[in-house]
Chain A
């Protein structure tokens, strides 16, 4: 997702921010995961922007997607090359206005961006967990976010907001802690992965596991499975774009040449783009984390976990107000999945707004600066904060 990050064109920013850490679930008080395994101690990396009101009712919790992190907006250092991943949306006067709201975002467990995950040292072996790290679920991620909220003294969340796998966490929050969540904005997401989405994830995982350097996940002291992870990321990028966006962005144009090379170099721009994205990704992401997080997303099934197989029943547990948004060219989480979600919410008489934004950029559209998206989120947040 980082390829879209740019400095704000109007130079408006939340400014210098700091990554913080909260550690809990120290043995013997480990957390019992959905799988039955225990995990502890758990560290959660998080960031907060804006000011918590005296009544602590202006909290917006942002939940990130597969390769995201707690660094939603702003800069760690004044000379950082890039701000946080949703800097266009989060900041003073922006869609999620840090002058009004207290924004919290934590890195999901299983990730490699500061929270406990497969690259963390296992206190028992004093080695990185690798595949000894238990398989975590979206529910487990949300459970650790709840622990962070408790730690911050937050009992009431104005809005949970997130796209893609972040959107799954949004839904999970609504049904797991309904008493805390007043509104929710699930973007470009689904209540369960389609076979298509699982298939792409599996091919990406296979690319990692087929790399001999992966070494059953125990690669932390030697060469890393960079090639496998790069291919996994290339597959991901195909699913985040769309037929239309790839046609517009690349077409059949050649990269730095006027004719075919008649070998297996990157002839086409699209090949060169994917190779570049793959290469860039391995510099910042851990292959095992990719395995764990995609698995958590594949396992997610809101209806099965919370409604005995029925999304309608699952949504009966919440009374949050919803703003559901999908994008026309998103073929990873197509609009019909958002519509099904909206239907299940309506059957419970929930207050739900829904819009399908016409966008050519595929699944990634929610990360790309978009005035319409900012205005929708801004208007919705203003309404729900006035309806206390």
Chain B
């Protein structure tokens, strides 16, 4: 079950959901871990062995100074070096839309980890659809607040697209949650009806279908 709405929860709402999917004591790597908020939470609350990869020197230095195990580098390259199944969970939170070769990265994630957790802003939210339809300009929203020429978000992903993609590459969706929240918010709500139209973010727990059928949970 997803956590209920805690205003004072130390984590953003989407990260609370991710955290709820992680089994205590597991080994976790967060790709693009930022200041390490999720890792810190998982280490303190779930006693995980946590690692992170982050490109920004300032953020990496903050993480290490806080006592996290983080290395500076490009996630696309850094995932290549780990042996198979090094981690129980490989997390890619709100970064997929910035990845140049998403299929390569997701394959790497499920090679170095038993399960992957992927979240992204849903590009088929009704506000985005209406903006494009009514104004004719590339949509700008609170989740994707950039102009077409300066956005780091080079991939346009919808919840339906991601489901289709995971099926096509032969992996399995183990859990799926669609939520409606602002990016900084500590609370939000789960969207069960028409998620592809109404949700601002999609969150997926994915596995290598061949090996992990026992974990399969039907999604919405």
Interface of A toward B, CB cutoff 8 Å = 321, 323, 339, 342-343, 346-349, 351-358, 372, 375-376, 378-380, 382-383, 386
Q: A342-B81, A378-B65 are in contact. List 18 more A-B contacts (CB 8 A).
A: A321-B69, A339-B73, A342-B71, A346-B81, A346-B82, A348-B83, A349-B82, A349-B83, A351-B49, A351-B51, A353-B69, A353-B70, A354-B71, A357-B61, A375-B61, A375-B65, A376-B65, A380-B64
A323 contacts B83, CB within 8 Å? no
Given A321-B69, A349-B86, A383-B67, A355–B60 Cβ distance below 8 Å? yes
Measured between beta carbons, the chain B residues less than 8 angstroms from A321 are 69
B72 A358 Cβ-Cβ under 8 A: no
Can you list 26 A-B contacts (CB < 8 A)?
A: A321-B69, A323-B64, A339-B73, A342-B81, A343-B81, A346-B78, A346-B81, A347-B81, A348-B83, A351-B49, A351-B51, A351-B69, A352-B71, A353-B64, A353-B71, A354-B60, A354-B73, A355-B72, A357-B61, A375-B61, A375-B65, A376-B61, A379-B65, A382-B67, A383-B69, A386-B67
Which single residue of chain B is at the shortest CB-CB distance from A326? B72
Asked if B163 is at the interface (CB within 8 A of a chain A CB), the reply is no
Report Cα–Cα, A255/B67, bound state, in Å: 47
Give the residues in chain B near A352, CB-CB below 8 Å: 69, 71
Flag whether B161 is at the interface (Cβ < 8 A): no
Residue numbers in A under 8 Å from B81 (CB-CB)? 342-343, 346-347
Of chain B, the residue at the smallest CB distance from A312 is B81
B66 within 8 Å of A (CB atoms): yes
The answer for the CA separation of A8 and B72 in the assembled complex, in Å, is: 30
Q: Which chain B residues border A347 with CB–CB below 8 Å? A: 81-83
Q: Check B215 for interface membership: any CB of A closer than 8 A.
A: no
Q: Point out the residues of chain B lying under 8 angstroms from A323, CB to CB.
A: 64
CA distance A247 to B81 in the complex (A): 38
Query: Which of chain A's residues have a CB closer than 8 A to the CB of B82?
Result: 346-347, 349
Query: Taking CB as reference atom, which chain B residue is nearest A372?
Result: B61
**How far does the alpha carbon of A353 sit from the alpha carbon of B63 in the complex, in Å?**
10
User: How many angstroms from the CA of A346 to the CA of B84 in the assembled complex?
Assistant: 11
Interface size counted on chain B using CB atoms at 8 A: 20
Contacts of B65 in A (CB 8 A): 375-376, 378-379
Q: Whole-angstrom distance from the CB of B197 to the nearest CB of chain A?
A: 42
Residues of chain B lying within 8 A (CB to CB) of residue A354:
60, 71-73
Report the minimum CB–CB distance from A101 to chain B (whole Å).
15
Q: Is the CB of A380 within 8 A of B83?
A: no
Nearest 7 A/B pairs, CB to CB: A379-B65, A383-B67, A346-B81, A354-B71, A375-B65, A355-B60, A355-B72
Least distance between B21 CB and chain A CB atoms (Å):
23
- Interfacial chain B residues near A372, Cβ < 8 Å: 61
**Contact residues of B: prevailing secondary structure:** mixed
B103 interfacial by beta-carbon distance below 8 Å: no
Q: Which of chain B's residues has its CB closest to A383's CB?
A: B67
Q: Within 8 Å CB of A375, what residues of B?
A: 61, 65
- Report the separation of the CA atoms of residues A58 and B66 in the bound assembly, to the nearest whole angstrom: 20
Name the residue on A nearest B85 (C-beta): A349
Q: Chain A contacts of B70 at CB under 8 A?
A: 353
How far apart sit A238 and B146, CA to CA, in the bound complex (Å)?
45
Q: Give the complex CA separation of A339 and B86 in angstroms.
A: 19
Residue pair A355, B71 in contact (C-beta under 8 Å): yes
Which chain B residue shows the least CB distance to A339?
B73
Contacts of A357 in B (CB 8 A): 57, 61
Q: Would you give the shortest CB distance from B102 to chain A, in whole angstroms?
A: 22
A349 to chain B, nearest CB (A): 5
The answer, among A343, A351, A353, A355, for a CB contact under 8 Å with B57, is A355
| Chain A residues with CB under 8 A of B60 | 354-355
B69 contacts across to A, CB distance below 8 A:
321, 351-353, 383
* Bound CA span A349–B27, Å: 12
Given known A-B contacts A347-B81, A347-B83, A358 and B57 have beta carbons under 8 A apart: yes
Note all chain A residues with C-beta closer than 8 A to B86. 349
Interface string of B42-58 (1 = CB under 8 A from A): 00000001010000010
Inside 8 A of B49's CB, which chain A residues have their CB? 351
Residue of A nearest to B86 (CB): A349
Which residues of chain A are within 8 angstroms of B78 by Cβ–Cβ distance? Answer: 346
Q: How far is the CA of A356 from the CA of B65 in the complex (A)?
A: 14
Determine how close the nearest CB of chain A comes to the CB of B57; give it in whole angstroms: 6
Residues of A within 8 A of B51 (CB): 351
A342–B69 Cα distance when bound, in Å, is 13
Chain A min CB distance to B33 (Å): 12
Residues of B within 8 A of A376 (CB): 61, 64-65
B34 CB, nearest partner CB in chain A, Å: 15
Interface pair B67/A355, CB less than 8 Å apart: no
Q: In the complex, how many angstroms separate the beta carbon of A319 from the nearest chain B beta carbon?
A: 13
Q: How far is the CA of A376 from the CA of B66 in the complex (A)?
A: 8
Known pairs A347-B83, A375-B61; A380 contacts B67 (CB<8 A) = yes
> Residue on B with the closest CB to A323?
B64
* A104 vs B28: C-alpha distance when bound (angstroms): 35
Residue in A342, A343, A379 with the greatest tally of chain B CB atoms within 10 Å = A379
Least CB distance from A236 to B in Å reads 28
Chain B nearest CB, measured from A270 CB (Å): 29
